[in-house]
Amino acid sequence: AQSVTQLGSHVSVSEGALVLLRCNYSSSVPPYLFWYVQYPNQGLQLLLKYTSAATLVKGINGFEAEFKKSETSFHLTKPSAHMSDAAEYFCAVSDLTGANSKLTFGKGITLSVRP
Amino acid sequence: GAGVSQSPSNKVTEKGKDVELRCDPISGHTALYWYRQSLGQGLEFLIYFQGNSAPDKSGLPSDRFSAERTGGSVSTLTIQRTQQEDSAVYLCASSFSKGSEQYFGPGTRLTVT
């Protein structure tokens, strides 16, 4: 079975500061990993995905994530936070070798950006 | 082009009533997923449709939940005899094929009173 751990439920940063949201996964097969963002009262939007190509993945809105197999991690970063980055962020894992490619999500992290 | 749409956006129902939630996937997408988002359980997979294959119902929490997908397009999630613990946001996603990027709809917020 696959699982995702997102430590902490809330991160607060100042505008212009580094954003670091942590994600660790557990998977018995090579995983596909995703970061999604959810703005209030909206659905999920894909930020970026890792599908076994380059380990450093660049996504939308200046976000990137690095896949580290030895640490079973896929942390999300952005060099300089913007007020518009305030949202909830979900890390997810998918097993394409299984019967379906359902996403298994972490609990999510709420990012607040202080002016 | 149009994204995934869901209706209604909000639904308030009394305990014990049946509800139907609708999902219109992106045209041409063969895979369709239902997920549930609740405060206590986070985001959970419910059911998966792929083309004309039998659906994967492994995530449905009880036999009060069912879903169908007509003509490989629109899907309806039905909850019978609703309970308060069914209150959640129900999200639908579609993808071009199994394993490709999933696009999510805005969700239906269900409140059972």
Using a CB-CB cut-off of 8 Å, the residues of chain A touching B48 are 100, 102
Query: Mind telling me how many Å the CA of A12 is from chain B's nearest CA?
Result: 21
Structure token digits, residue B57: 């119902």
Task: Judge: A108–B43 Cβ closer than 8 Å, yes or no.
Answer: yes
Mean pLDDT, rounded, of chain A: 92
What is the chain A residue with the closest CA to B41?
Answer: A107
Does the structure show a pLDDT above 80 at A97?
Answer: no
A96-106 CB burial, b ≥16 within 10 A, e <16: eeeebbbbbbb
For the segment A54-92, what is each residue's pLDDT rounded down to a tens digit? 889 999 999 999 999 999 999 999 999 999 999 999 999
Task: Judge: B42–A105 Cβ closer than 8 Å, yes or no.
Answer: yes
Mean pLDDT, rounded, of chain B: 93
Task: Say yes or no: B105 contacts chain A, CB-CB below 8 A.
Answer: yes
Interface of A with B (CB under 8 A): 32, 36, 41-46, 49, 90, 92, 94, 96, 99-108
Query: B8: cis peptide before it, omega within 30°?
Result: yes
Query: Mind telling me how many Å the CA of B85 is from chain A's nearest CA?
Result: 18
Look up tokens 């997810």; give the residue.
A92
Share of chain A above pLDDT 90, in %: 75
pLDDT at res. A98: 67
